[in-house]
């Protein structure tokens, strides 16, 4: 029996959401797509048509006033949503497409038409709040995909793993009291946005369904993979998700200009491989990867390349043109032990 293909969602409209000189610019995906094409991976994956998310699906999380605010700002030619988050004349449409792409991949994977998949769209989503853009994010792509999987695809339990170097504060806030969508965030701590302390584990019925893994500056491959094996895997086994979504930012790479972590491209590839194996163990391989941050162009493009290969089961072919991080990795065993106690793992 042949496995269904790995699928991807991409639409070139994302190139029009751009601000030259801004770190979150269209060269991130431009270079990534060119590399995937060059390596023959676009041909090896199943392409999905992308449609904008519909308003009822968007309103599951975002307030109508906020959605109107984005639409009007774009219609007026664009502008700044906060001190660092921009909108162009097309950003409303692009953000609708980025959320729609996340849902398209989710639908293909949940239906079994695809084995797993990736959305390579922008703007990213994990900082977006119900009524506020934040951290280059406009709509909460991963959270919207999780909500759609529950409301439209019959799933009950979804796990979101966020290994972007920044805390996924938007995703956390949306599901903080919700025991049906579990959230795990790896992030440099302290670092912007400042949330994501290890004691923050959810509230009310959601208590215990959020796990923050605050990494000290300089933590690298060993720390990330140890945390996966000792924290993420047992947490996920207890939760028994029916789908795993990954908010995949590549800004924990040691070359990234916005953070000070020591993860390598090989480390990212091993994380992606572990996520695939976890999905295969727990939820028939249902794994959906969404692009979040990552601001070193080589790190983000090769990061996505290796992630795609991991999704396809080709992790032997890891490419790491940037090599290992200089210096010694920061030790995290005490932090991991503390989290094991807090979460009873
Ligand atoms: Zn980030």
For 223-235, the pLDDT digits (tens) are 999 999 999 999 9
In a 10 Å sphere around its CB, with 0-12 CB exposed, 13-18 middle and 19+ buried, how is residue 31 labelled? middle
Q: Is the pLDDT of residue 55 over 70?
A: yes
The whole-number pLDDT of residue 3 equals 84
Q: Which of 307, 283, 267 is nearest to 117 (CA)?
A: 307
Is the per-residue pLDDT at 175 higher than 90? yes
Q: In residues, how long is the chain?
A: 345
List C-alpha distances in Å: 159 to 97, 284, 330, 331, 333: 23, 14, 28, 27, 24
Q: What spacing in Å lies between the alpha carbon of 165 and ligand 1's midpoint?
A: 5
Residue 90 pLDDT > 70: yes
Separation of 301 CA from ligand 1 center, angstroms? 15
Q: Global pTM?
A: 0.99
pLDDT average, residue stretch 168-188: 98
Q: What is the mean pLDDT of residues 213-232?
A: 98
Structure tokens at 214: 């605050």
Q: What's the CA gap between 88 and 73, in Å, rounded?
A: 8
Confidence of residue 1 (pLDDT cuts 50, 70, 90): low
Q: What is the mean pLDDT of residues 101-112?
A: 98
Distance (angstroms) between ligand 1 centre and the Cα of 123 equals 12
The stretch 83-102 carries a mean pLDDT of 98
C-alpha 218: how far from chain center: 21
Non-local (6+) Cβ contacts of 230 within 8 A are: 336, 340, 345
Residues serving a catalytic function are 127
Q: What is the pLDDT of residue 29?
A: 98
Percent of the chain at pLDDT above 70? 100
Whether the per-residue pLDDT at 283 is higher than 70: the answer is: yes
For the segment 233-260, the average pLDDT, to the nearest whole number, is 98
Contacts of 54 (CB under 8 A, 6+ apart): none
CA of 293 to the centre of ligand 1 (A): 4
Centroid of ligand 1 to alpha carbon of 167 (angstroms)? 8
Residue 189 CA to ligand 1 center (angstroms) comes to: 12
Q: Collapsing DSSP states into helix, strand and coil, what is residue 153?
A: helix
Summarize the confidence of residues 313-340 as an average pLDDT: 95
Q: Distance between CA atoms of 139 and 144, rounded to whole angstroms? A: 8
Query: What kind and span of H or E run contains 288?
Result: strand 287-291
User: Would you place residue 81 in the very low, low, confident or very high pLDDT band (cuts 50, 70, 90)?
Assistant: very high
* Phi, psi values for residue 334, rounded to 5°: -65, -40
Cα of 290 vs centre of ligand 1, distance in Å, is 13
Q: What is the pLDDT of residue 315?
A: 80
- Mean pLDDT confidence for 252-264: 98
- Class at the top of the CATH hierarchy for domain 6-342: alpha beta
Query: Measured between alpha carbons, how far is 342 from 321 in angstroms, rounded to an integer?
Result: 38
Q: What is the DSSP string of 78-130?
A: EEESSSS-EEETTHHHHHHHHHHHHHHHHHHHHHTSSSEEEE--SS--TT-BT
Provide mean pLDDT across the span 37-42: 98
Q: How far is CA 80 from CA 17, 210, 327, in A?
A: 13, 31, 38
Asked if residue 194 has pLDDT above 90, the reply is yes
pLDDT band at 176 (very low <50, low <70, confident <90, very high): very high
Q: Are 86 and 154 in contact (CB under 8 A)?
A: no
What's the gap in Å between 143 CA and the centre of ligand 1?
A: 16
What angle do helix axes 141-153 and 91-111 make, rounded to 10 degrees? 50
* pLDDT in the model for residue 316: 86
Q: Mean pLDDT over all residues of the chain?
A: 98
Sheet holding 158-162, edge to edge: 46-48, 6-9, 116-119, 287-291, 243-248, 158-162, 181-188, 210-215
Q: How far is the CA of 250 from the centre of ligand 1 (A)?
A: 7
């Amino acid at each position: 029996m042949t496995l269904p293909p790995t699928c991807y969602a991409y639409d070139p409209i994302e190139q029009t959401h751009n601000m030259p000189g801004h770190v979150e610019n269209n060269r991130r995906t431009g270079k990534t797509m060119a590399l995937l094409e060059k390596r023959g991976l676009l041909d090896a994956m199943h392409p999905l048509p992308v449609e904008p998310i519909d308003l009822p699906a968007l309103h599951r999380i975002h307030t109508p006033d906020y959605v109107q605010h984005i639409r009007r700002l774009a219609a007026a030619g664009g502008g700044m949503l906060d001190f660092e988050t921009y909108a162009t004349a097309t950003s409303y449409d692009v953000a609708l497409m980025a959320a729609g792409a996340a849902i398209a991949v989710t639908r293909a994977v949940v239906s079994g038409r695809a084995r797993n998949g990736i959305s390579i769209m922008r703007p990213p989503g994990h900082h977006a709040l119900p009524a506020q853009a934040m951290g280059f994010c406009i709509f909460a792509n991963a959270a919207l995909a999780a909500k759609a999987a529950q409301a439209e695809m019959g799933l009950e339990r979804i796990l979101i793993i966020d290994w972007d170097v920044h805390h996924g504060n938007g995703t956390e806030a949306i599901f903080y009291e919700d025991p049906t969508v579990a959230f795990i965030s790896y992030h440099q701590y302290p670092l912007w946005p400042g949330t994501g302390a290890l004691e923050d584990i959810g509230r009310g019925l959601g208590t215990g369904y959020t796990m923050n893994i605050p990494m000290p500056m300089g933590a690298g491959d060993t720390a990330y993979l140890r945390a996966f094996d000792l924290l993420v895997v047992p947490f996920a086994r207890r939760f028994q998700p029916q789908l795993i979504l990954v908010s995949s930012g590549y800004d924990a790479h040691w070359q990234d200009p916005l953070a000070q972590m020591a993860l390598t491209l090989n480390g990212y590839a091993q994380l992606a491989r572990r996520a695939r194996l976890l999905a295969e163990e727990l939820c028939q391989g249902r794994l959906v990867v969404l692009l979040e941050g990552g601001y070193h162009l080589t790190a983000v493009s090769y990061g996505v390349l290796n992630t795609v290969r991991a999704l396809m089961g080709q992790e032997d072919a890891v490419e790491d043109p940037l090599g290992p991080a200089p210096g010694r990795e920061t030790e995290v065993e005490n932090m991991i032990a503390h989290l094991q106690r807090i979460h009873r793992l």
